[in-house]
Structure 1
Amino acid sequence: MRTPSMRARLGAEALGTFWLVFGGCGSAVLAAVFLAPNVVAGQSVQLGIGHLGVSLAFGLTVMTMAYAVGHVSGAHFNPAVTIGAAVAKRFEWKDVPAYVGTQVAAGLLAGLAVWGIARGKPGFEVTGNLAANGYGDHSPGGYGLVAVLCAEVILTAFFLYVILGSTDERAPTGFAPIAIGLALTLIHLISIPVSNTSVNPARSTAVAFFNGNGAPGQLWAFWLAPVVGAAIAGATYHLVTSVDRRDEDIAGQIHPDDVGSGPAS
Structure 2
Amino acid sequence: MRTRALASEFLGTLLLVFFAVGCAVLGVEFIGTVGIALAFGFVLLALAYALGPISGCHVNPAVTLGMLCARRIDVATAIGYWIAQFVGGIAGAALLFLLAKQVPGIQTHGAFGSNGYGDRSAVHINTGGAFLAEVVLTFLLVFVVLGVTHRVAVVGFDGLPIGIALAVIHLIGIPLTGTSVNPARSLGPALFAGGSALSQLWLFIVAPLVGGLLAALVHHVTHPAGEERTIADEVAAA
Paired residues in the alignment total: 238
Q: Say if 2:149 and 2:229, in contact at 8 Å, map to a contact too.
A: no
Indicate the structure (1 or 2) with the bigger Cα radius of gyration: 1
Q: In 1, Cα distance between the equivalents of 2:60 and 2:103? A: 30
Change (3 A) 1:257 1:93: closer
Is 2:19 the counterpart of 1:23? yes
Q: Say if 2:72 and 2:229, in contact at 8 Å, map to a contact too.
A: yes
The counterpart of 2:231, out of the listed 223, 237, 251, is 251
Q: Say if 1:73 and 1:252, in contact at 8 Å, map to a contact too.
A: no
Aligned CA-pair RMSD: 1.6
Aligned to 1:165: 147
The counterpart of 2:206, out of the listed 217, 224, 235, is 224
Tell me which amino acid in the other structure corresponds to 2:3.
R
Offset, 1:253: 3.8
Q: How does 1:102-117 map to 2 (within 5 A)?
A: 102-117=84-99
Could you tell me the TM-score, scaled by structure 2's length?
Answer: 0.95
Q: In 2, Cα distance between the equivalents of 1:86 and 1:49? A: 36
Is 2:169 the counterpart of 1:187? yes
Per the alignment, in what secondary structure is the counterpart of residue 147 of structure 1? helix
Aligned to 1:176: 158
Q: In 1, Cα distance between the equivalents of 2:203 and 2:111? A: 19
Q: In 2, Cα distance between the equivalents of 1:254 and 1:49? A: 35
Q: In 2, Cα distance between the equivalents of 1:205 and 1:94? A: 22
Q: Say if 2:8 and 2:51, in contact at 8 Å, map to a contact too.
A: yes
Q: Say if 2:93 and 2:192, in contact at 8 Å, map to a contact too.
A: yes
Gaps of 5+ in 2: none
Tell me which amino acid in the other structure corresponds to 1:81.
V
Q: In 2, Cα distance between the equivalents of 1:257 and 1:251? A: 10
Change (3 A) 1:252 1:70: farther
Q: How does 1:27-46 map to 2 (within 5 A)?
A: 27-33=23-29
Could you tell me the TM-score, scaled by structure 1's length?
Answer: 0.86
The counterpart of 2:135, out of the listed 145, 150, 153, is 153
Q: Say if 2:111 and 2:197, in contact at 8 Å, map to a contact too.
A: no
Identical-residue share of aligned pairs (%): 39
The counterpart of 2:76, out of the listed 94, 98, 102, is 94
Runs of 4+ in 1 over 2 A off after TM superposition: 122-125, 248-258
Tell me which amino acid in the other structure corresponds to 1:30.
L
What whole-Å deviation, never above 9, does each CA across 1:61-94 have from its counterpart, x for those lacking one? 1110110111010110001110111111121112
Higher helix share: 2
Aligned to 1:42: none
Q: Say if 1:70 and 1:252, in contact at 8 Å, map to a contact too.
A: no
Aligned to 1:6: 2
Change (3 A) 1:256 1:23: farther
The counterpart of 1:120, out of the listed 99, 102, 118, is 102
Q: In 2, Cα distance between the equivalents of 1:52 and 1:245? A: 39
Q: Say if 1:134 and 1:215, in contact at 8 Å, map to a contact too.
A: yes
Change (3 A) 1:208 1:171: same
Range that drifts further, 105-114 or 120-129 = 120-129
Q: In 2, Cα distance between the equivalents of 1:141 and 1:186? A: 18
